[in-house]
Amino acid sequence: MTPKERVLAAIRHEEPDRVPITAGLDIKFQEILTGRKHMPVKSYVGGGIAVTKETKKSDYEALLYNQKLKNDATRKLGTDDFRVSDYWLWPKGYEPKYLDKYTFVDWWGKVYRLEPKVNTNYWIDGIIKTEEDLDKFTPPDPDEINYDLVDFVVKDAGEEYPVFGCIHLAGMFPYLMMGGIDKFSIALYLNPRFAEKVIKMVADVQIKIAKNMIDRGVDIIYESDDIAGKDGPFFPLRIYKKYIWPPIKKVVDMCHKRDIPYVKHSDGDLMPILDEFIKFCGFDVLNPIEPQVMDLGEVKRRYGRRIALQGNVDCTWVLPYGTEEDVRRDVRRAIDQGAKGGGFILAESNSMHPNVKFENILIYVDEGKKYGRYPCGKVEAES
């Protein structure tokens, strides 16, 4: 089977030839695998990716070059998906607004700080503090965004690789724009109209971005906002149902009308709300099922006929610090708990971040391909 056939079969709860394998590779590993260096760009925000104010090439050339490097790293590693993120989809003519030499505002009103000594950046604030700020703010026009990068990835993938189009909705973006989850939470209780307006503004743009991605040939929509932490959900159930989940459901419904699966990512412990979450939103795949706080076998038993699962090899300890046998054992555990009957994609529990050992990534893929040949898996889905 091709990677595309393999991934889509798993999402349909079918047993492909083997368990599909994905890996969210840090730049460090993309460079090791390809033997090429990433090209810096003016203001790529997200993932701790290297940022400088100047580049010898245009940003557009840099974005295409970096995306090709990422695709080539996937091919070299032998994993099963291509990804293109809304983080890279800049409005045409976009220039970051610099507040000082090392601080800039992006097109969503998120404020980032550059660290030239280590050539990276990090989020520090947002500019939407009041309803007046919101009224003055002009969100990006989804039809004026440059989608050439999406076109490139779809063409490069051909019929061999599935393309995951990554978006953000009502989780992280609103509170990053407002200056923090504390400010967002306070607004939900003391000024819910303000919080709801920010959520709606983000959702209205992002659903159109998702539509435009699908129109250009993306196979899967992947929404990557966290809604929980290790201690459990961020908010009470009523807050999710009233404010956070309706935009997700809206995009899920749009995807399903176009026969496009929807992957919901969230770190943290979702178990207290997972049943209601699945019923309310109807998403197709849950990622990454963090092993420190969620038991993959329990999730498979309880929900494995309703949703497919993507995860949950430990990237907190096993992949960074574990021995070869630790990695192989954890891969086998995940396959045993998730793979029976299909509906499972092997993945790390968040990302292949810089602290992961490169050798362990190779072991992870090798064991996944060996042990993940169907028939495999031990835990039976009950519902």
CB 274 within 8 A of CB 303: yes
C-alpha to C-alpha distance for 268 and 174, rounded to whole angstroms: 19
CB under 8 Å to 200, separation ≥6 — which residues?
A: 247
pLDDT tens figures, 35-93: 999 887 655 443 333 444 444 446 678 888 999 999 999 999 999 999 999 988 888 77
pLDDT for residue 27? 92
pLDDT tier for residue 95 given thresholds of 50, 70 and 90: confident
Task: Tell me if 127 is assigned to some domain.
Answer: no
CATH number for the domain including 230? 3.20.20.210
Domain count along the chain:
1
User: Do 155 and 84 contact (CB within 8 A), yes or no?
Assistant: no
Residue 292 lies in a domain: yes
Q: How far is CA 308 from CA 24, 227, 298, in A?
A: 18, 19, 13
70 part of a folded domain: no
Q: Let me know if residue 321 belongs to a domain.
A: yes
Strands 103-105, 110-115: pairing kind? antiparallel
User: Is 41 within a domain?
Assistant: no
CA separation, residue 144 to residues 94, 223, 227, 317 (Å):
10, 21, 29, 42
Q: What are the strands of the beta sheet with 262-265, ordered from one edge?
A: 82-85, 163-167, 220-223, 262-265, 285-287, 308-313, 344-348
Tokens matching residue 203 = 């959702």
pLDDT tens-place string over residues 262-285: 999 999 999 999 999 999 999 999
Going by the DSSP 8-state scheme, the letter that residue 241 receives in this structure is I
Is 45 a domain residue? Answer: no
pTM above 0.85, yes or no: yes
Residue 274 lies in a domain: yes
Backbone phi, psi, residue 291, to 5°: -70, -25
Query: By residue range, what is the domain housing residue 253?
Result: 3-27+78-88+136-371
Let me know if residue 20 belongs to a domain.
yes
Helix, strand, coil abundance in the chain, percent, nearest 5: 45, 15, 40
- Give the tens place of pLDDT for each residue, 324-344: 999 999 999 999 999 999 999
